[in-house]
Amino acid sequence: MSSPAKRAVTALLAFALLSTSACGQDESMTGDADGPMSPERLDRIYRVLGENVISGRNVWSFSYGGIDVTSVISVQYDRMRIMAPIMAIDEVSQQQKDRMLVANYESALDARYGVNDGILYAAFIHPLSTLDDRSVASALRQVATLAATFGSHYTSGELDFGRPAGSEQAEEDDDESERDEIGT
């Protein structure tokens, strides 16, 4: 591994270690304060944060920030997913597919772009029991933002690990950020 690559890996490991130790054993971060996430608790969260919530057995459909969202859970397998359809995958250009792959690595964070049955989705997939209320709210924001920014910034909006210095995309983003700051 090259020296710059080693430094990058070391920096990421240090960041992960500091982030983990900063959280410590805070129960509000682990979901333990209110016990494991349950379908009933998830339903309450979705009804507070969503609009026009329709629920069935372990499935919810609603609007969040103008984005149509569906959430499906399996208590038996301790899994959940929140997803927002974006468009038919056959309408997505190769350039957009390439950009989604980069976003899944850099700027999508906990949410991801994915494809199922010919439809492109923004999705969050996670063990159900370990979630807390703030994590669910963050997941909803990330999925909705990732869906809304498809074709432009390809971001979940929470945080961006950034692009390697000197990369063409980094330079384009820097130019765009400067234009945004000065209002052009």
Per-residue pLDDT band at 27 (split at 50, 70, 90): very low
Joined together, the tokens standing for residue 23 give: 């959280």
pLDDT digits (tens, 9 = 90+) for 5-22: 444 443 433 333 333 333
Q: Do 113 and 103 touch, CB atoms closer than 8 A?
A: yes
DSSP string, 62-127: EEETTEEEEEEEETTTTEEEEEEEEEEGGGS-HHHHHHHHHHHHHT-TTSEEEEETTEEEEEEEEE
pLDDT at 50: 97
Report yes or no: 68 and 61 within 8 Å, Cβ to Cβ. Answer: yes
Would the pLDDT of 35 be above 60? yes
**Predicted TM-score (pTM) above 0.75:** no
Q: Give the pLDDT confidence of 136-175 residue by residue, as tens digits.
A: 999 999 999 999 999 999 999 865 555 544 445 544 554 4
Of 3.40.720.10, 3.30.1460.10, 3.30.590.20, 2.60.120.1440, the CATH number of 29-174 is 3.30.1460.10
